[in-house]
Amino acid sequence: MTGLNLFIEVAGWIGAVLILLAYLFLSMGKLTGRSAVYQWMNVVGAAGFTLNGWWHGALPSAALNVIWMLIGGVALWRIAQRKGSSTSAM
């Protein structure tokens, strides 16, 4: 196994662990769907899955995870907007 192949496999496994942990923490009530931590775990996890899926030619999985990343990105943007609107500038 080359260094690049190892990197791709590790990225996929890290992605899997992050998404599973995000779901576990959500299910246990440790995180909410509006939590930036939860969304970042999903975005980074989906990035790992996207890379691994693309590398292995699993295009439906890669496409699904690109969409997963976009959903998380929009959620993170909304979280940032809420934080920005809660402070007033004078």
Split into its structural domains, the chain has a count of 1
Is 90 a member of any domain?
no
φ and ψ at residue 86, rounded to 5 degrees:
-80, -10
43-68 pLDDT, tens digit each: 999 999 999 999 999 999 999 999 99
CB 67 within 8 A of CB 53: no
What range does the domain containing 7 cover?
3-79
- Categorize the per-residue pLDDT at 84 as very low, low, confident or very high, splitting at 50, 70 and 90: confident
CB 22 within 8 A of CB 31: yes
Is 39 a member of any domain?
yes
- Categorize the per-residue pLDDT at 32 as very low, low, confident or very high, splitting at 50, 70 and 90: very high
73, burial (CB in 10 Å: exposed 0-12, middle 13-18, buried 19+)? middle
Tally the C-alpha atoms within 13 A of residue 25's C-alpha that lie toward its C-beta.
18
Is 88 a member of any domain?
no
